[in-house]
Structure 1
Amino acid sequence: MVSLFTSYFLPLVLVASIFNFQTSLCDISADEALIAGICRQVQDPPFCLTTFRQILAHPYVPEEVTRAAIAQSLQNANNNHAFIVAAKAAAKDKVTQDLYAICDVGYGLMKTILQDAAQSLANKNYIALENDLSKCPRFVSDCQNALGSKTTPEMLDRSRKQFDLLIMSNVAEGLIKK
């Protein structure tokens, strides 16, 4: 009797396992296609892919991808803001301090707007979310433009990553079914 049960049950388990494995591969493939599509739109696709793979768990859904991108963008904005405040304090001349003051204000506002965006996403207020995210790149470009020739390679790298994170957030938000 046991062998009869085993002879029917074992093939069923095997078929179910194969189906589950193939379905999982399809899901992972679709997940990778989702983030690859987003990452094709940024300046540094490897940075984008690495970031998403570090902060997301399968399955990738647009709402979660957007939430993660906003959270990472906010964390980066906080780090950049602290860097800017320190650079402003360390600046030896008034002109450089004033230029960093522009960045200080801009990144401070961007942090507030990113917090609002995260709340809008949580509340499924997609119009406010889109509006919030559309404002943020300007703060980065305003800072870059203000610093001009006084910018440092580190600040350029920080700005590039911030832009990419903001693009990642914007593109992911556009994938949400509203």
Structure 2
Amino acid sequence: MASLFTSYFLPLVLVANIFNFQTSLCDISADEALIAGICRQVQDPPFCLTTFRQILAHPYVPEVVTRAAIAQSLQNANNNHAFIVAAKAAAKDKVTQDLYAICDVGYGLMITILQDAAQSLANKNYIALENDLSKCPRFVSDCQNALGSKTTPEMLDRSRKQFDLLIMSNVAEGLIKK
């Protein structure tokens, strides 16, 4: 009797495992396609892919991807804001201090708006979320424009990454079924 059970049960377990493995491969392919589609729209696709792979676990769904992108953007904005405040304090001349003050205010506002965006997502208020996220890239470009020739290579890199994170958030938000 045990041999009869084993002869039927073992192939069923094997088929179930194969099906589960194939299904999980399909899910991973779909997940990778989701983030690849988002990352094709940024300036630095490898940065985007690496960021998503570090902060997400499968399965990737647009709402979770959006939440992760906003959180990463907010963390980056806080780090950039601290960098700007330190650069403003270290600036030797009043003109440079004033230029960094523009960035200080802009990044401060962007942090507040990203916090609002995270709350809008949590409340499933997609209109407010879209509105919040659409405002943020302007703060990055305003800072870059203000600094102009006084922009450092580190600030350029920080701005590029911030801009990409904002694009990632915007594109992921657009994928949410509303």
> TM-score scaled to structure 2, two decimals?
1.00
SS of alignment partner, residue 176 of structure 1: coil
Q: Distance in 2 between matches of 1:114 and 1:154?
A: 23
> Structure 1: which 5+ runs fail to align?
none
What is the CA-CA distance between 1:143 and the residue it aligns to?
0.1
Q: Distance in 2 between matches of 1:151 and 1:11?
A: 65
Q: Distance in 2 between matches of 1:8 and 1:150?
A: 74
What is the CA-CA distance between 1:174 and the residue it aligns to?
0.1
Q: Distance in 2 between matches of 1:149 and 1:3?
A: 80
What is the CA-CA distance between 1:175 and the residue it aligns to?
0.0
Residue deviations 1:23-53 (CA, integer Å, cap 9, x gap): 0000000000000000000000000000000
Pairwise mapping of residues 15-30 of structure 1 onto structure 2 (< 5 A)?
Answer: 15-30=15-30
What is the CA-CA distance between 1:85 and the residue it aligns to?
0.1
Residue deviations 1:57-93 (CA, integer Å, cap 9, x gap): 0000000000000000000000000000000000000
What is the CA-CA distance between 1:99 and the residue it aligns to?
0.1
Please give the root-mean-square deviation of Cα atoms over the aligned residues, in Å.
0.2
What is the CA-CA distance between 1:101 and the residue it aligns to?
0.1
SS of alignment partner, residue 176 of structure 2: coil
Residue deviations 1:82-121 (CA, integer Å, cap 9, x gap): 0000000000000000000000000000000000000000
Partner residue, 2:8: 8
Q: Distance in 2 between matches of 1:3 and 1:35?
A: 48
Partner residue, 2:175: 175
Runs of 4+ in 1 over 6 A off after TM superposition: none
Q: Distance in 2 between matches of 1:74 and 1:3?
A: 60
**Aligned-pair identity (%):** 98
Q: Distance in 1 between matches of 2:91 and 2:20?
A: 59
Aligned length: 178
Q: Distance in 1 between matches of 2:132 and 2:138?
A: 11
Q: Distance in 2 between matches of 1:66 and 1:24?
A: 22
> TM-score scaled to structure 1, two decimals?
1.00
Q: Distance in 1 between matches of 2:157 and 2:142?
A: 15
Residue deviations 1:123-161 (CA, integer Å, cap 9, x gap): 000000000000000000000000000000000000000
